[in-house]
Amino acid sequence: MDHLPQKLTDQFGRQVDYIRLSITDRCDFRCQYCMAEDMTFLPRNEVLSLEECARLVKVFVKLGVTKVRITGGEPLVRKNAQWLFKEIGQLNGLKELVLTTNGSQLTKQAKQLHQAGVKRINISVDSLIPERFKQITRIGDLNKVLSGIDSAIQVGFEGIKLNTVLMRGINDDEATDLVQYAIDKKIDISFIEEMPLGEVNHARKNTFVSNTDTLKRLQDNYTLLPSTETTGGPAKYWRVANSDTKIGFISPHSHNFCESCNRVRITCKGELYLCLGQEDKIELMPLLRDNPENDMPLIEAIINSMTIKPKGHDFDLQRAAPAVVRFMSHTGG
């Protein structure tokens, strides 16, 4: 494999050094913007095994990927998920192993994750009001999530960040409370604009909250200092003066970040999506299963996929139907 390229570069000159790998489509929540209330989950044989997940990560790292984010569904409900974290956490060339979770399992698993080499954790929290949290997640228990956050803090992760999707008329009045919670806990928070994914009849333009509006609201309450800091993803950060907290804004609508896109996504079915907002994909599972001892077909497919990575996601809230019909839980959070 000495002749392999040292990095993956697409047709627009962007280097792909970050993969987001979903290890399950299952979740113990049913968040409204992520999945349907009555989801049909994949049978086990249609989901990548943990060994296949580890093999994929190792190949991508050989191709210059330095950051891997494990997602779901809820990745920590996957049986034996800790094996995967241990298997890839110490890979040579991998600078960051990170996790996106709803926090429900952190009280039990935070210590093991830290020991396995996970550097940072993003925890999805859209409300600090228990009844509202349950409404948004349909079945989630806020107290369990807050306890999980405390466990992650106590274990000593290098970075803990809340991920929040504000929705007009649902939780947009909590922006300041959520930031204050992050400040009090000495952790970070990112606001993510709701994306047009999933059910055709979900009228997202009615609930959409622009990050521009959220920033203005927060500036009325805090002194925010623009920052050039980055965690390797699409967020633009502001520092809260006189605190340890930074606020990120991920704005696929109001401030398109495609020109600097450095990431691809792999679903739990082994589908390599070159863009969250487009349907172009490469099927990796057959290559894994048809060539158990030979990585070259897989490597060639990944390298060739760079030629179809699109310039941008082209989200448009005015469309009658969503840009992409698949649910967020399908692609990976």
286-314 pLDDT, tens per residue? 999 999 999 999 999 999 999 999 887 55
Secondary structure class of 213 (helix, strand, coil): helix
The yes-or-no verdict on residue 319 having pLDDT over 60 is no
The yes-or-no verdict on residue 254 having pLDDT over 90 is no
pLDDT tens across 13-59, in order? 999 999 999 999 989 887 776 676 667 789 989 999 999 999 999 99
The yes-or-no verdict on residue 316 having pLDDT over 60 is no
The yes-or-no verdict on residue 322 having pLDDT over 50 is no
- CA distances in angstroms from 219 to 39, 53, 215, 239, listed in the order given: 39, 42, 6, 11
110 vs 277: which has the higher pLDDT: 110
Assess contact for 94 and 61: CB atoms under 8 A.
yes
Assess contact for 103 and 124: CB atoms under 8 A.
yes
Alpha-carbon dihedral angle through residues 316, 322, 328, 329, given to the nearest 10 degrees: 180
Assess contact for 172 and 208: CB atoms under 8 A.
no
Average pLDDT over every residue of 264-283: 90
The yes-or-no verdict on residue 321 having pLDDT over 50 is no
The yes-or-no verdict on residue 264 having pLDDT over 70 is yes
pLDDT at res. 112: 98
pLDDT at res. 200: 40
26 vs 127: which has the higher pLDDT: 127
Look at 38-52, 241-255, 316-330 and tell me which has the smallest mean pLDDT: 316-330
CA 31 centroid distance within chain: 14
Which residue ranges make up each domain of the chain? 21-331
pLDDT at res. 314: 57
Task: Give ∠ CA 93-52-261 in degrees, rounded to 5.
Answer: 50
Assess contact for 225 and 246: CB atoms under 8 A.
no
The yes-or-no verdict on residue 246 having pLDDT over 80 is yes
Pick the CATH number of 21-331 from 3.20.20.70, 3.40.50.800, 3.40.1400.10, 3.40.50.150: 3.20.20.70
Per the prediction, the chain carries an average pLDDT of: 88
Assess contact for 14 and 261: CB atoms under 8 A.
yes
Using the structure block, give the residue that is written with the tokens 């989801």.
39
pLDDT at res. 230: 83
User: Whole-angstrom Cα distance, residue 168 to residue 203?
Assistant: 12
pLDDT category of residue 62 using cuts at 50, 70 and 90: very high
pLDDT at res. 251: 83
Using the structure block, give the residue that is written with the tokens 């979770």.
101
Assess contact for 197 and 158: CB atoms under 8 A.
no
pLDDT tens across 167-220, in order? 999 999 999 999 999 999 999 999 999 865 555 445 567 889 999 999 999 999
pLDDT at res. 224: 98
pLDDT at res. 313: 58
Report field, pTM of the whole predicted structure over 0.95: no
